[in-house]
Amino acid sequence: MRKAIIAGNWKMNNTASEGVALVKAIAPLVTEATCDVVVCVPAIDIPAVSEALKGTNIRLGAENVHFAEKGAYTGEISAAMLKEYGVEYVIIGHSERRQYFGETDETVNKRTLTALTAGLTPIVCVGETLEERETGKTEAVLHRQLEEGLKGVEDITKLVIAYEPVWAIGTGKTATAAQANETIGYIRKTLGELFCEKCAAKVRIQYGGSMNAGNCKELMAQEEIDGGLIGGASLKAPDFSAIVNYDK
Protein backbone atom coordinates (compact mmCIF):
# COMPACT_ATOMS: atom_id res chain seq x y z
CA MET A 1 0.00 0.00 0.00
CA ARG A 2 1.28 3.44 -0.93
CA LYS A 3 0.71 6.11 1.71
CA ALA A 4 -0.94 9.19 0.21
CA ILE A 5 0.94 12.49 0.24
CA ILE A 6 -0.72 15.90 0.07
CA ALA A 7 1.73 18.75 -0.51
CA GLY A 8 0.91 22.44 -0.66
CA ASN A 9 2.84 24.57 -3.15
CA TRP A 10 2.56 28.17 -1.99
CA LYS A 11 4.43 29.52 -5.03
CA MET A 12 5.29 33.24 -4.58
CA ASN A 13 2.72 33.84 -1.86
CA ASN A 14 2.88 34.60 1.88
CA THR A 15 5.46 36.63 3.72
CA ALA A 16 7.16 34.82 6.60
CA SER A 17 4.63 36.15 9.13
CA GLU A 18 1.72 35.24 6.86
CA GLY A 19 3.17 31.78 6.37
CA VAL A 20 3.50 31.23 10.11
CA ALA A 21 -0.11 32.30 10.62
CA LEU A 22 -1.25 29.92 7.89
CA VAL A 23 0.53 26.84 9.21
CA LYS A 24 -0.69 27.61 12.72
CA ALA A 25 -4.21 27.64 11.31
CA ILE A 26 -3.70 24.42 9.35
CA ALA A 27 -1.94 22.37 12.03
CA PRO A 28 -4.90 21.75 14.38
CA LEU A 29 -7.11 20.82 11.44
CA VAL A 30 -4.86 18.02 10.18
CA THR A 31 -3.72 16.30 13.38
CA GLU A 32 -5.58 13.10 12.46
CA ALA A 33 -4.44 12.98 8.84
CA THR A 34 -3.79 9.50 7.49
CA CYS A 35 -1.63 10.88 4.69
CA ASP A 36 1.74 12.63 4.73
CA VAL A 37 1.21 16.39 4.88
CA VAL A 38 3.78 18.79 3.39
CA VAL A 39 3.94 22.55 2.82
CA CYS A 40 6.42 23.75 0.19
CA VAL A 41 7.12 27.39 0.88
CA PRO A 42 9.13 30.29 -0.58
CA ALA A 43 12.79 30.12 0.43
CA ILE A 44 12.64 33.29 2.51
CA ASP A 45 9.79 31.81 4.59
CA ILE A 46 11.61 28.58 5.41
CA PRO A 47 13.30 29.60 8.72
CA ALA A 48 10.12 31.01 10.28
CA VAL A 49 7.82 28.27 8.98
CA SER A 50 10.28 25.58 10.07
CA GLU A 51 10.08 26.86 13.62
CA ALA A 52 6.29 27.11 13.50
CA LEU A 53 5.96 23.49 12.32
CA LYS A 54 7.81 22.01 15.30
CA GLY A 55 5.59 19.60 17.19
CA THR A 56 3.14 19.22 14.28
CA ASN A 57 2.65 16.40 11.79
CA ILE A 58 3.32 18.75 8.86
CA ARG A 59 6.60 18.34 7.01
CA LEU A 60 8.51 21.19 5.38
CA GLY A 61 9.30 21.45 1.68
CA ALA A 62 11.02 23.93 -0.62
CA GLU A 63 9.99 25.05 -4.09
CA ASN A 64 13.35 24.57 -5.77
CA VAL A 65 16.97 23.55 -5.16
CA HIS A 66 20.15 24.21 -7.10
CA PHE A 67 22.30 21.35 -8.34
CA ALA A 68 25.65 22.77 -7.17
CA GLU A 69 26.89 22.50 -3.60
CA LYS A 70 27.98 26.15 -3.60
CA GLY A 71 29.38 28.76 -5.95
CA ALA A 72 28.63 31.72 -8.19
CA TYR A 73 24.89 31.12 -8.64
CA THR A 74 23.36 34.39 -7.51
CA GLY A 75 19.88 33.99 -6.08
CA GLU A 76 19.98 30.19 -5.85
CA ILE A 77 19.60 27.93 -2.81
CA SER A 78 21.67 24.79 -2.16
CA ALA A 79 20.51 21.49 -0.69
CA ALA A 80 22.70 22.04 2.39
CA MET A 81 21.04 25.40 3.03
CA LEU A 82 17.61 23.76 2.90
CA LYS A 83 18.62 20.83 5.09
CA GLU A 84 19.92 23.09 7.85
CA TYR A 85 16.39 24.44 8.37
CA GLY A 86 14.73 21.05 8.43
CA VAL A 87 13.49 20.91 4.84
CA GLU A 88 12.63 17.33 3.84
CA TYR A 89 10.95 17.71 0.44
CA VAL A 90 11.67 19.82 -2.62
CA ILE A 91 9.62 20.49 -5.74
CA ILE A 92 11.68 20.06 -8.91
CA GLY A 93 10.71 20.88 -12.49
CA HIS A 94 7.38 22.57 -11.86
CA SER A 95 5.85 23.73 -15.13
CA GLU A 96 6.21 27.36 -14.04
CA ARG A 97 9.94 26.80 -13.58
CA ARG A 98 10.09 25.23 -17.03
CA GLN A 99 8.00 27.98 -18.63
CA TYR A 100 9.42 31.09 -16.99
CA PHE A 101 12.92 30.19 -15.82
CA GLY A 102 14.35 27.92 -18.49
CA GLU A 103 14.13 24.65 -16.58
CA THR A 104 14.86 21.70 -18.85
CA ASP A 105 14.77 17.93 -18.47
CA GLU A 106 18.54 18.10 -18.06
CA THR A 107 18.45 20.60 -15.19
CA VAL A 108 15.56 18.69 -13.60
CA ASN A 109 17.79 15.62 -13.67
CA LYS A 110 20.73 17.44 -12.10
CA ARG A 111 18.58 18.94 -9.35
CA THR A 112 16.92 15.59 -8.67
CA LEU A 113 20.22 13.75 -8.29
CA THR A 114 21.54 16.49 -6.01
CA ALA A 115 18.43 16.39 -3.83
CA LEU A 116 18.59 12.61 -3.48
CA THR A 117 22.29 12.70 -2.61
CA ALA A 118 21.52 15.24 0.12
CA GLY A 119 18.75 13.09 1.56
CA LEU A 120 15.92 15.33 0.39
CA THR A 121 12.80 13.82 -1.18
CA PRO A 122 12.27 15.32 -4.64
CA ILE A 123 8.74 15.93 -5.88
CA VAL A 124 9.50 15.71 -9.60
CA CYS A 125 6.88 17.36 -11.78
CA VAL A 126 5.93 16.13 -15.24
CA GLY A 127 3.06 17.08 -17.52
CA GLU A 128 1.91 18.12 -20.95
CA THR A 129 0.55 21.37 -22.36
CA LEU A 130 -2.92 21.67 -23.84
CA GLU A 131 -1.49 21.65 -27.37
CA GLU A 132 0.49 18.49 -26.63
CA ARG A 133 -2.59 16.73 -25.25
CA GLU A 134 -4.80 17.80 -28.14
CA THR A 135 -2.26 16.59 -30.69
CA GLY A 136 -1.85 13.20 -29.04
CA LYS A 137 1.65 13.81 -27.70
CA THR A 138 0.91 13.33 -23.99
CA GLU A 139 2.58 9.94 -23.67
CA ALA A 140 5.64 10.93 -25.71
CA VAL A 141 6.12 14.07 -23.61
CA LEU A 142 5.77 12.20 -20.32
CA HIS A 143 8.10 9.42 -21.45
CA ARG A 144 10.78 11.96 -22.41
CA GLN A 145 10.42 13.90 -19.15
CA LEU A 146 10.67 10.74 -17.07
CA GLU A 147 13.52 9.17 -19.03
CA GLU A 148 15.63 12.34 -19.15
CA GLY A 149 14.63 13.78 -15.78
CA LEU A 150 15.30 10.61 -13.80
CA LYS A 151 18.44 9.45 -15.61
CA GLY A 152 20.94 7.99 -13.15
CA VAL A 153 18.48 7.69 -10.25
CA GLU A 154 19.31 4.48 -8.39
CA ASP A 155 16.19 4.13 -6.25
CA ILE A 156 13.02 5.73 -7.61
CA THR A 157 11.08 4.81 -4.46
CA LYS A 158 12.92 7.67 -2.74
CA LEU A 159 11.16 10.30 -4.82
CA VAL A 160 7.61 11.44 -5.51
CA ILE A 161 6.25 12.15 -8.99
CA ALA A 162 3.67 14.90 -9.50
CA TYR A 163 1.63 14.71 -12.68
CA GLU A 164 0.59 18.26 -13.48
CA PRO A 165 -1.20 18.74 -16.78
CA VAL A 166 0.01 22.25 -17.59
CA TRP A 167 -3.38 23.16 -19.02
CA ALA A 168 -5.01 22.53 -15.62
CA ILE A 169 -2.70 24.59 -13.40
CA GLY A 170 -4.24 27.76 -12.04
CA THR A 171 -6.86 27.71 -14.78
CA GLY A 172 -9.69 26.16 -12.84
CA LYS A 173 -9.71 23.37 -15.43
CA THR A 174 -9.22 19.88 -14.06
CA ALA A 175 -8.61 16.62 -15.80
CA THR A 176 -11.47 14.25 -15.11
CA ALA A 177 -10.73 11.65 -12.46
CA ALA A 178 -10.63 9.03 -15.19
CA GLN A 179 -8.21 11.10 -17.33
CA ALA A 180 -5.91 11.72 -14.38
CA ASN A 181 -5.97 8.07 -13.33
CA GLU A 182 -5.27 6.85 -16.86
CA THR A 183 -2.35 9.22 -17.36
CA ILE A 184 -0.83 8.47 -13.97
CA GLY A 185 -1.22 4.78 -14.82
CA TYR A 186 0.86 5.45 -17.94
CA ILE A 187 3.49 7.21 -15.81
CA ARG A 188 3.70 4.20 -13.50
CA LYS A 189 3.93 1.82 -16.47
CA THR A 190 6.76 3.91 -17.93
CA LEU A 191 8.62 3.93 -14.61
CA GLY A 192 8.31 0.14 -14.61
CA GLU A 193 9.85 -0.04 -18.07
CA LEU A 194 12.64 2.43 -17.29
CA PHE A 195 13.47 1.01 -13.85
CA CYS A 196 11.56 -1.99 -12.48
CA GLU A 197 7.90 -2.86 -12.09
CA LYS A 198 8.16 -3.59 -8.37
CA CYS A 199 9.83 -0.24 -7.78
CA ALA A 200 7.25 1.57 -9.91
CA ALA A 201 4.45 0.00 -7.89
CA LYS A 202 5.89 1.64 -4.76
CA VAL A 203 6.38 5.15 -6.18
CA ARG A 204 3.86 7.71 -4.99
CA ILE A 205 2.40 9.73 -7.87
CA GLN A 206 0.42 12.87 -7.11
CA TYR A 207 -2.08 14.72 -9.24
CA GLY A 208 -1.24 18.40 -9.55
CA GLY A 209 -3.88 20.06 -11.69
CA SER A 210 -6.27 22.21 -9.65
CA MET A 211 -7.17 19.62 -7.02
CA ASN A 212 -9.47 21.29 -4.52
CA ALA A 213 -11.87 20.58 -1.67
CA GLY A 214 -14.67 19.89 -4.13
CA ASN A 215 -12.96 17.31 -6.33
CA CYS A 216 -10.36 15.72 -4.04
CA LYS A 217 -12.48 12.78 -2.90
CA GLU A 218 -13.20 11.65 -6.47
CA LEU A 219 -9.58 12.08 -7.54
CA MET A 220 -8.16 10.37 -4.46
CA ALA A 221 -10.53 7.43 -4.94
CA GLN A 222 -8.69 6.52 -8.14
CA GLU A 223 -6.40 3.51 -7.93
CA GLU A 224 -3.30 5.19 -9.38
CA ILE A 225 -3.53 8.58 -7.63
CA ASP A 226 -1.51 8.77 -4.42
CA GLY A 227 -2.00 12.38 -3.44
CA GLY A 228 -2.02 15.93 -4.67
CA LEU A 229 0.35 18.83 -5.29
CA ILE A 230 -1.94 21.66 -4.27
CA GLY A 231 -1.55 25.25 -5.46
CA GLY A 232 -4.25 27.83 -4.78
CA ALA A 233 -6.18 25.67 -2.32
CA SER A 234 -3.09 25.33 -0.12
CA LEU A 235 -3.25 29.04 0.73
CA LYS A 236 -6.44 28.71 2.79
CA ALA A 237 -6.45 26.57 5.91
CA PRO A 238 -10.05 25.28 5.52
CA ASP A 239 -9.52 24.31 1.88
CA PHE A 240 -6.15 22.66 2.39
CA SER A 241 -7.26 20.76 5.47
CA ALA A 242 -10.35 19.51 3.62
CA ILE A 243 -8.09 18.00 0.97
CA VAL A 244 -5.75 16.50 3.58
CA ASN A 245 -8.79 14.99 5.30
CA TYR A 246 -10.23 13.69 2.02
CA ASP A 247 -10.95 10.31 3.56
CA LYS A 248 -12.88 11.62 6.55
State yes or no: is 164 an active-site residue.
Answer: yes
Catalytic residue among 66, 94, 103, 128: 94
C-alpha 14/C-alpha 67 separation (Å) is 26
Catalytic residue among 96, 103, 132, 164: 164
Q: Would you say 77 and 64 are in contact if contact means Cβ atoms under 8 Å apart?
A: yes
Distance separating alpha carbons of residues 216 and 208, to the nearest angstrom: 11
Query: What's the residue count for the chain?
Result: 248
Catalytic residue check, 94:
yes
Catalytic residues: 94, 164
